[in-house]
Amino acid sequence: MATFVLVHGSTHCARAWDLVKAELENRHQSVVTPELPADEPDASATRYADVIAASIPKGEYPIVVAHSAAGWFLPLVAARHRVHRMVFLAAAVPRIGMSFLEMLRAEPEMINPAWLGKDPRDESVANEFLLHDCPPDRLSWAHATIRVVRAQQAMFERYPLEHWPKVSTSYIVCREDRTIQPAWSHRIAKSQLGLDPIELPGGHCPYFSRPTELAEILARVNES
């Protein structure tokens, strides 16, 4: 039995993982879904990494899955706690020595420009960029999980890591992602992480639209 730590991004709370959590538990896996602070705009990236690391059960050697902006904290978690694998899910991948804003200026193709500055608490915005492939019977619940994590300080600071952790890594690209650009995800997985990404159909939030397929991919990742 593996332990998965599923980390939400900057537009949702931990409940967004409920369907994937159930799917993995049905496969006899252990699942932890930490809640990132939403009201600490001055918190550093290390603060978020510490919250994630503190959620890992004692003695466990987990697979940590980070969605979207949470990818920024993932290598910091692996530097603090022994982990089996890092999984970037439609996620930002940090560059050591750069802040997020510096990286965005250097690689503007990372994020769909139409998404920048949008508020996901606006239902029409969420429907267009995050939930466009969500089944209609899940939309109300999906909207109820939306919560903005204000991590301004973590985005402005120079990345607080000197060396990339020596940990097995996977990247999952969402083929019709309307926030993190799929072409950028493919490129960064190969050029920076040195791996061929796993491709999943659909949009940015597969934990709503494709929880079974996502759980199957994560289960296979555990076996690799």
What is the rounded CA–CA span in Å between residue 11 and residue 29? Answer: 26
Cα–Cα separations (whole angstroms), residue 124 to 82, 111, 120, 143, 213: 41, 19, 8, 10, 26
What is the rounded CA–CA span in Å between residue 13 and residue 97? Answer: 29
CA dihedral 102, 69, 65, 170 (to 10 degrees): -40
Please name the amino acid found at residue 102. E
Q: Is residue 200 within a helix (H) or strand (E), and if so which, with residue range?
A: strand 198-200
Could you tell me which residues come within 8 angstroms of residue 81 by beta carbon, excluding any fewer than 6 positions away? Answer: 53, 56
What's the half-sphere exposure (Cβ side, CA atoms, 13 Å) at 179? 28
Q: How many residues does the chain have?
A: 224
pLDDT in tens, 7-38: 999 999 999 999 999 999 999 999 999 999 98
Q: What are phi and psi of 67, to 5 degrees?
A: -95, 135
Structure tokens belonging to residue 194: 């040195």
**Which pLDDT score, from 0 to 100, does residue 151 have?**
82
Annotated domain spans of the chain: 3-223
- Identify the DSSP state of 197: P
Q: Is the pLDDT of residue 222 over 90?
A: no
Confidence of residue 139 (pLDDT cuts 50, 70, 90): very high
Pairing between β-strand 63-67 and β-strand 30-32 as defined by DSSP bridges: unpaired
Whether 15 contacts 143, CB under 8 Å: no
pLDDT in tens, 80-109: 999 999 999 999 999 999 999 999 999 999
What is the rounded CA–CA span in Å between residue 192 and residue 92? Answer: 12
Strand order through the sheet with 30-32: 30-32, 3-7, 63-67, 85-89, 168-174, 198-200
Domain 3-223 part of CATH 3.40.50.1820: yes
Q: What's the whole-number mean pLDDT along residues 162-188?
A: 96
What is the rounded CA–CA span in Å between residue 223 and residue 103? Answer: 33
